[in-house]
Chain A
Amino acid sequence: MKKYWFIALGGVLGAISRYYIKNIHILPNRGSLPINTFIINITGSFILALLLTAASEILNFDENIKLGIGTGFLGAFTTFSSMCKDAALLIHSGNFITAFSYLFLSAIIGIFTSYLGYITGITVIGVNSKKLSREAMEEIAVSSFEERKVFDELNN
C-alpha cells in the first residue's frame, strides 16, 4: 500500500532532521540541558496540530501526504523516548528539579503549542473560506476532526 511509503519517507526525513538539530550546540554552557530535544518536540507539536486541524481545508490535502507529513515526518521528528532519557540522566546527576521541570514544561508548553496550532489552523480555514464567523470556523474545525474520526474508523 502506497501510504506506507509516504510514512517511511517522512520517517527518514524526520529522524534525520531530529538527529541533525540534536547535534547543534545551541548554548555555550549547555551542560546537560536538553534544550534541542525540547525545541524539536514543541515545534513539532505546533505543526502537527496546525496540519491536522486545517489539512482538509488547505488546498486538496491528499491523505497520503497528510500521513507522510504528520505520522511520518512529525512523528519521527518529535520523540518521547529521548525526553525520558534526558530526564533520567538529569536525575542520575542529581538535577531533580531540572528533570521534573523539563518534563512538566514539555507537557504544558506542548499542550499550549498544540492549542496555538489549532487556533492557527482555524484561522487558515477562515482565510480560505473567506469571511466566516468565528462559530462557523470552529464548526468546520470540529467537523473536519469528526470526518477524520469517521475516516479513521472506515480505514480500520
Chain B
Amino acid sequence: MAYVLVGLGGALGSVVRYSLGKFISRKLKGKFPYGTFIINITGAFLLGAVSSVAAGTNWYVFLAEGFLGAYTTFSTFMYEGFNLFLDKEKLNAITYIIISLILGLLGFELGNRIFY
C-alpha cells in the first residue's frame, strides 16, 4: 500500500517539477538555475510542514516520500551546478550550491515550526 502512495506521489511530483521548472525558467532567464532552486527550497519548506503536521500517517507517505521526494531533486541540482563550473561560472556555481543548502535547511525548519 505504501508503495502505491509513493508511486502516485512520485508521478505527480515529477510532472509538477518539470512543468513548474520550465515555467520559472521562462520567466526568470539567465545563467542561474532559478527553476530547480525555487523548487528545491519550496519542497524543503513543504516537507518541514508535512513532517510536523502529518508524521506517521499515510498522508505523510504520499506527500513526503512520494510527492516531495520526487518534486525536489538532487541530481538536477548537481548537474546544473557542475555545468555552471563547466561554463566558467564559478561564482554562480558556488553561490547556487551553498545558498540552496542553507535555504533548504532553513526552509525545512521554518515549515516545521510554522504549523507546530
Contacts and interface: CB of A to CB of B under 8 A. Distances in A.
B28 to A, nearest CB: 12
Interface stretch (A25-33, A56-64, A73-81, A128-136): A73-81
Contacts of A85: 44, 47-48, 51, 108
B18 A76 contact: no
A111 B76 contact: no
Contacts of A7: 14-15, 18
Interface in B59-91: 64-66, 68-79, 81-83, 85-86
Interface in B85-111: 85-86, 97, 100-101, 104-105, 107-109
Interface string A98-136: 000001001100110111001000000000000000000
Contacts of A118: 82, 86
B3 interface: yes
A88 B104 CA distance: 10
A81 B68 contact: yes
B14 A71 contact: yes
Given A45-B79, A114-B78, A11 B48 contact: no
B15 A11 contact: yes
B33 to A, nearest CB: 12
Nearest to B43: A81
A93 B10 CA distance: 30
Contacts, number: 175
A16 B40 CA distance: 19
Interface residues of B, number: 53
A19 B100 CA distance: 23
A35 interface: no
A152 to B, nearest CB: 8
A145 B105 contact: no
16 contacts: A11-B10, A11-B11, A12-B10, A16-B7, A19-B2, A44-B75, A67-B18, A76-B69, A79-B72, A81-B69, A81-B104, A87-B105, A88-B48, A88-B112, A107-B97, A107-B101
Interface of A: 4, 7-16, 18-20, 22, 41, 44-45, 47-49, 52, 67, 71-72, 74-85, 87-88, 103, 106-107, 110-111, 113-115, 118, 145, 156
The 6 closest A-B CB pairs, nearest first, are: A15-B10, A11-B14, A76-B70, A78-B74, A114-B82, A80-B72
